[in-house]
Structures are given as C-alpha cells and as structure tokens.
Amino acid sequence: MKLIILEHYSQASEWAAKYIRNRIIQFNPGPEKYFTLGLPTGLPRDHPESYHSFMWNNFFKHIDIHPENTHILDGNAVDLQAECDAFEEKIKAAGGIELFVGGIGPDGHIAFNEPGSSLVSRTRVKTLAMDTILANARFFDGELTKVMILITGAHKAFALYKAIEEGVNHMWTVSAFQQHPRTVFVCDEDATLELKVKTVKYFKGLMLVHNKLVDPLYSIKEKETEKSQSSKKPYSD
Amino acid sequence: MRGEQGAAGARVLQFTNCRILRGGKLLREDLWVRGGRILDPEKLFFEERRVADERRDCGGRILAPGFIDVQINGGFGVDFSQATEDVGSGVALVARRILSHGVTSFCPTLVTSPPEVYHKVVPQIPVKSGGPHGAGVLGLHLEGPFISREKRGAHPEAHLRSFEADAFQDLLATYGPLDNVRIVTLAPELGRSHEVIRALTARGICVSLGHSVADLRAAEDAVWSGATFITHLFNAMLPFHHRDPGIVGLLTSDRLPAGRCIFYGMIADGTHTNPAALRIAHRAHPQGLVLVTDAIPALGLGNGRHTLGQQEVEVDGLTAYVAGERPDPLGPRSQPACQVAHDPPRACPLCSQGTKTLSGSIAPMDVCVRHFLQATGCSMESALEAASLHPAQLLGLEKSKGTLDFGADADFVVLDDSLHVQATYISGPVLAGCGDPAWCWRAVWEAPVCPAHPISVILPSSVSPWPWHTPMWQTRAVRLPEQLRGGWASGALLALRTATVGSDVRDWCSPTSGVIVLTFSPFEFWGGWLPSPLLTGAVLGTGGTRLALPLFSSLCCKAQLRKCLQVQRDRMVWAPPVGREQPGKNHLPGQGLA
C-alpha cells in the first residue's frame, strides 16, 4: 500500500491524473484491447447533479472516448440484480478490472463519486459499496488490478486514519484495501490531519520512490519510439 | 422545415475549439448541431451512444447566436418601402447580403407610405425561414404612418395619418391584412391609440412607441395597453427632461406592469446617439437594449444620393441625411436665401442642398455591435446579447432564436476576438427521409481568411504615366510564395525583390490577418532589381492581428483598392508612407505585429 501525500487538492488531482495516464498508456489500449470505464450511480440520469452529468461535464466531453466503451450502472433500473449481473458480464468480457479509481466518504465507505457522496443516501452507498466489493472481489485480481483511492479534504481525515492506521474493519470498508498489494492512496495535507506524524513522515520520505510512478510521464506518441529503444522495465507498483 | 432533434441518421456536427455564448457567458464548450437545431451532446452520448459525424475546428473563435435586426429599411440599393413589381427579389437580395454582417433573421421595415404602397408590398413579404439563400424574415416592421407630425424625422409629412375616426379599422384600411406584420411603430398620444394597441397586441403583433411627443404618463399608459418596444430611443421623441422624462423615462419607470421588460432599440452607429447617451441608456436598463441598424437602402453602397421611401437621402461616410434641393447650376445668386429659420433644420427647397435631419443609418449590424461594445465598455457577452437575445425576447422567440441553448435553431455567427464576423451559419430544411441533409453544411458566408501559408496578394490596377513603364498592373489574386519568386509574366518587366518581401511577408502574416496588398511606385522601377525604399503595402486585417506596412499612396487610390477588394472601410488599416514614420507608430518588417 502506498500513501501519496501532496500539498494541495490541485496537486493531488494532478498526480492522480498523471498516474492514470501512465497506467492507461502502459495498458497499451488498442482496437482489441479497449479502455473502458465502469461506474455506478444512484440519481436519475437527467438530474443535473447525477453521476452521468458529472462524468459528462468533467470527463467525457473533454476526451474522445466512444460511448460504447463507457458503462455506467443505472441505479434506477427496474431490476437491480439483473443490472448488476449484466455489469459483471461486461467486466468479465473486458478481461477484468485493470485500474480501479475511487474515493471514500467521510464515514469510510467506498464512494464512487468523489464530491457527490453527499448526494447519494448513506444507506444506498453502504449497500452498494458492500455488495460491490464482495461481489466483485473476484475481479480484483491481486497481481493485476491496481487500485487508486483519492482522499482530499479535512473532513475525510478521520476516514483516512481509520483506513490505513487501524485494522481491516467492516465499519470502514476502505480498510479492506490494506490487503490489496497494489493500492495507492492519494491525498492532500488536509486529509492527513488525523494521522500520526510518524506515518506522514514515513510516506513523505518515500515520495522520491513513489514519484517514479508518474515520472517519466508517458505519451502515446512517444510510446512507439520508446518501445524499440528502451529495454528498461518501468517502475511498477 | 427543420428536422426534429431525434431525427435518426441526421448528421451530427461538432464545433470544437471555440467559445460559445450560453447563459450570458462565453463558455469554453463545444457546439453540437443536428437537423438544424442545437443538440444536447450528453443525451447523444448516453442515450444514443453516438459520436459526432463531423468535427469542425473553430480556431479559438467565438460562436454567438446570429444577430437579429428588427429595424432595417432596405440595403444594397433595395428599398422595402418602394412598391415595385418584384418586392420579393429585393428582400431576397438584402437577406443574402446581410449574412456577411452576421444577421441571420430580420424584420424588413416600411416607413410612412401611402396605403397603396402597403397594400401592394405587405402581402409580398411573407415570413420565411433563413438558409443558404439568406437571412430569415421574421415579419414586417411597419414604422408609421400613425406617428407625430413634429417628430416625423425623415418620414414624408404628406402621408401621415391618424386613427381617430375608426381606430383599428383605420389601421386595417391603411395596411391591409396584417398576416405578415410583426411590429408596428406608432405614437401613443394620437387619439384612440389604446384601442389600437390592444387590438394589435391581441393579434400577437408587437407595438412600439416612436416618432412621438408623448410624455411619460402617456407612454406608461401605452405600455399598460400592451406596447413593449421603443423605436430608436432618443431619436424622434421628446428629449429627456428631469421633470418629464418622456418616453425615455420608460427605462426606469416603476409604473409598468409587474414582470414586464420594456425593450428599446438603439442605433449604435456613432451618429444617431452620442456615446454618452448610449451609456446612460445602457446603464439604466441593460436588459432591454436592442441593437438595430435602421439601415437605409444605401447600406452597402458608396457615397451619393439614394432613395428612402418617398424621399431622397444623401450618404456621406457612415451617415445619411435628408437630401435637399439640388444646387442651382447658376450659383447662389439665383436662389433666394431662405427667410424662415428652421429649428431643427429640415428639408427646405429654399435652403442650400442637404439638411441636418438624420435619415437612417448605413452602419451594418456588426459595426453597430463593435461600436456599442467600445462606446459602453460593456462585456462582450452583453454586446452580443443586445444584438441577438434581446430582439428574440422582444418578439417572443427566445426559445428558438437568439440563443445557443439546446433545441434552439442553429443560427449562429463565428466571430474573432474583435467581433468581426468570420462566418455565418444558418441551418436549412432537411429533406424528409434523406439520411444526409440536402443542404450543404458549410457557412452561408465566410470572410476571406488568409492563412499564413500561402498568402493572398492582390495587385490593384492602375495606369502608369511613365513612358518606360508598360502598364501591366493586373488585378488578380496570386498565391505566394511561387509568384513572388521572380517576376510576373504578361510582358511586364517588373519583379519584386524576394529578399525584401518573400520571406519577410510570411513572417508578418498571421492566421487572422487578411490580405496583403503589394504595390510599388514607378520611381523604384528599374527592372525591379533595385532596393525599393518605396515598397508599399497595406494589410487588411480581418481579426485581431493587424499588420501595417508602409503605404505609398500616390499611385494607388484607397477608394480604388477598396473597391477592387470589396472590403468594408472599417476593415482596412493604413499606415503612413515610408519616410514619414513617427517613432513607435510604425511596424516595419521584423518589428512585430500590431
């Protein structure tokens, strides 16, 4: 488990973005190996604050992703079980989860919409989170799946403390990722307020090593030339 | 006419790399269009799972709703108030030509005319959608004849009327059927005007107050009866007085019906209204300001005399005045001096030619928008909304026109940062059942843009007086750099020094600058191989970056150049000739762009 501590929200976001970028390029997506996105939601699609709107305005409209490759769970589907089954089928067909990105709620539950966790009822999130984690545990192949959890803000500090300094606990479901070998927690200074100084210093000291995940920053165009030249194994987590 | 948003199979266009005017702000967003309407991309993405069929890069430009001109009397030689046999083709001509000004919908305006003219002309101008053929006609604007005698302005006195006898029936008798009419301007102080206003409003016709000597009370009563517009504020009405603001006082009146917004037209051409007055009105009531051109048939033509309604007007620059009698060729001795003092001066056969009565404007809509922006110092969004959203709101069309919201008609203009029109888009009808729309999805008008490579060079024609010069100036556009290497054929022994011009010119030109005109004087001609300190040129900017090269104007007349290049006066940038540069004011090659 790696804890990446950056100073501000914007820097944490940038680090996370670079990490995702590197992971995507390393994944080497192509027509046969496509890059997809899967997310659950609770609000109706049309709602201006629904996850669909959020993802469209903040992500999809800025990139050239094909709508076919995005899969957003419909939390308002008539048959939720069938919806989840279909979602699982899609994950299986895509070859399992390569990278999982999420955040946590102030109560430690895994939330899938970082600023919107307040928009979805707590009960629903809890249900969804537990079911999702338990049901999809088989997709989280320890060696292959990478997990990145984003935690920013002072209101998440206690949850972060519970997540990494305490044991694995069903009340703080994100702590389950302590047992996952490829987890990265990205947070800003405010979120570390409840951690021991020892912990913070330890992980800050490791930043030099952890920054190799984002530096060098890969580029699709240069990847072609790099492939033939470099034989060095890139730093992996 | 226009296809439904959900028309399956219709092509989806995505305009990227642009700023669009939406919700009163310039947002860095893409504009999606399908079937002649603005499309919601989120719905397309999640529900239909589709991407755009075509992407257009707008080069960082501004996309604004197409301008709507609710007061335009004609243009390009066409006078809407003239009862010709083929009014329709005149309207079509104007509709096509104003596209280059960014106008996508307009209300042809008829000035005070005898009833025969109305009966003949009004039925010939139906409401029509815009398209590649021209801007859309939203309906007629009938300005007069029910206006005040004292404030008639350029309207002919002989044809003024009143409706005291039969109120609305009088109006119907004058105009004929009102199917094509959208706005009527009248003076509310005339007897029985309230009945008329109510009857017109009940028919969905917008009533406007103008050419009137009404006081504030009468104007407020008219608004209560249903009037919603003021025709060219400040002009042809009583001036603002602190104890009786007159019609101008409507802008800040607190006695209007709740929730009603009073709109007012302003001619922002720099002549009809002093910029200070423009600012006062804008600051008092910015949401109601509607930019109009009040353009006369002389719009787009040069200086000289032209016809407006039943009168003749004289054009001089960007202003137009009522023409007086032609001067007697024998001179002033044979003409008795006019004994009557005119206050304000008006057309009088005894006065010397010309008057000071303004007679409509010849400033195109985009010039008005730029002038308005510069005079009031308002935001770009305000200026653009004043020309698009507010007229749409006045006519109750804000759901489909004057806006780039989802579902609105896809009528928009592409502007650069200085609000010069680069392209105008109007969606046309989609043929039912046809997968690909029949109309060509390109801009209905595009400004001549000069990319950095190659550069268009236009040489003006002129006849050289010098005997050893073969007058071989050709008016043609040539493409650099091939043409600049070496000389021109056609028997000319002229050649340009590519060392001084070729590579440097490429450095000067930017994607937004327009055309480079190269000329040179005969003094330097010795086979063209000598260095040419008199090398001249002018660059016509179409956008933000303007270059100015030294211009030697002895041989090439500015008017000639303008004519052969067919660009508008305000688009040309001139620099002082070489040798008379002032420090810091010239841009010689290599010294950077303007």
Nearest to B46 among A64, A66, A67 (CB): A67
- The reply to whether residue A67 touches residue B45, judged by beta carbons under 8 angstroms, is yes
- The confidence band for B58, taking pLDDT boundaries of 50, 70 and 90, is confident
- B46 to chain A, any CB pair closer than 8 A? The answer is yes
- B305 to chain A, any CB pair closer than 8 A? The answer is no
A159-163, A209-213, B281-285: which has the highest mean pLDDT?
B281-285
Q: How many angstroms separate the Cα of B520 from the Cα of each of B275, B352, B383, B562?
A: 40, 43, 41, 17
pLDDT surpasses 50 at A48: yes
pLDDT score at B18: 92
pLDDT surpasses 80 at A12: yes
In this structure, what token pair is assigned to residue A218?
A: 């890969």
Across residues B546-552, what is the average pLDDT?
Answer: 30
- The reply to whether residue A61 touches residue B41, judged by beta carbons under 8 angstroms, is yes
Residues sharing a CB contact under 8 Å with residue A86, sequence separation 6 or more, in sequence order: none
Helix, strand, or coil (residue B222): helix
If contacts are CB pairs under 8 Å, which of residues 68-127 in chain A contact chain B? Answer: 68, 70, 72
Q: Roughly how many angstroms between the first and final C-alpha of chain B, as a whole number?
A: 46
The answer to whether B190 and B168 have CB atoms below 8 angstroms apart is no
The answer to whether B470 and B491 have CB atoms below 8 angstroms apart is yes
User: From edge to edge, which strands make up the β-sheet containing A110-111?
Assistant: A2-6, A183-188, A146-151, A99-104, A110-111
Q: Looking at CA atoms only, how far is residue A31 from chain B in angstroms? A: 17
- The reply to whether residue A56 touches residue B49, judged by beta carbons under 8 angstroms, is no
pLDDT digits (tens, 9 = 90+) for A142-167: 666 788 888 899 998 998 998 889 88
- A53 to chain B, any CB pair closer than 8 A? The answer is yes
Nearest to B42 among A53, A66, A68 (CB): A53
pLDDT score at B84: 87
Q: Roughly how many angstroms between the first and final C-alpha of chain A, as a whole number?
A: 9
Q: Looking at CA atoms only, how far is residue B10 from chain A in angstroms? A: 18
Across residues B241-265, what is the average pLDDT?
Answer: 93
Q: Which residues of A touch B46 (CB under 8 A)?
A: 45, 52, 56, 67, 72
Nearest to B49 among A56, A64, A68 (CB): A68
Phi, psi of B224 (to 5 degrees): -65, -30
ipTM here: 0.73
Q: How many angstroms separate the Cα of B59 from the Cα of each of B17, B157, B296, B451?
A: 6, 52, 35, 12
- The confidence band for B301, taking pLDDT boundaries of 50, 70 and 90, is confident
- A218 to chain B, any CB pair closer than 8 A? The answer is no
Strand bridging mode A99-104 / B31-34 = unpaired
- Is-catalytic flag, B244? no
- The reply to whether residue B42 touches residue A66, judged by beta carbons under 8 angstroms, is no
- Vertex A46, ends A40 and A49: CA angle to 5°? 65
Instruction: Tell me the pTM.
Output: 0.70
Residue in B32, B45, B49 to test binding to A, most A beta-carbons within 10 Å: B45
Q: Which of A111, A93, A101 is nearest to A24 (CA)?
A: A101
- The reply to whether residue A52 touches residue B49, judged by beta carbons under 8 angstroms, is no
- B559 to chain A, any CB pair closer than 8 A? The answer is no
Q: Looking at CA atoms only, how far is residue A127 from chain B in angstroms? A: 25
Looking up tokens 């240069």, which residue turns up? Answer: A222
User: Can you list the positions of beta strands (E) in B491-561?
Assistant: 513-520, 535-541
Considering B69, B269, B294, B409, which one is annotated as catalytic?
B294
Across residues B425-434, what is the average pLDDT?
Answer: 46
- The reply to whether residue B51 touches residue A61, judged by beta carbons under 8 angstroms, is no
pLDDT score at B89: 92
pLDDT digits (tens, 9 = 90+) for B81-107: 988 888 999 999 999 889 888 999 999
pLDDT surpasses 70 at B288: yes
Average pLDDT, chain B: 70
Higher-confidence residue of B21 and A81: namely B21
pLDDT surpasses 90 at A189: yes
Q: Which residues of B touch A60 (CB under 8 A)?
A: 45
Chain A nearest-CA residue for B16: A62
Chain B nearest-CA residue for A56: B42
- The confidence band for A98, taking pLDDT boundaries of 50, 70 and 90, is confident
If contacts are CB pairs under 8 Å, which of residues 18-47 in chain A contact chain B? Answer: 45
Angle between helices B365-376 and B380-387 (to 10 degrees): 140
Chain B nearest-CA residue for A66: B51
Q: Looking at CA atoms only, how far is residue B129 from chain A in angstroms? A: 32
Q: Which stretch of DSSP H or E encloses residue A55? A: helix A51-58
Query: CA B178, CA B353: separation in Å to the nearest integer?
Result: 39
Q: Which residues of B touch A64 (CB under 8 A)?
A: 51
pLDDT digits (tens, 9 = 90+) for B160-198: 999 888 889 999 999 999 999 999 999 999 989 999 999
In this structure, what token pair is assigned to residue A10?
A: 């914007």
**Residue B508, Cα to own-chain centre: how many angstroms?**
30
- The reply to whether residue B51 touches residue A67, judged by beta carbons under 8 angstroms, is yes
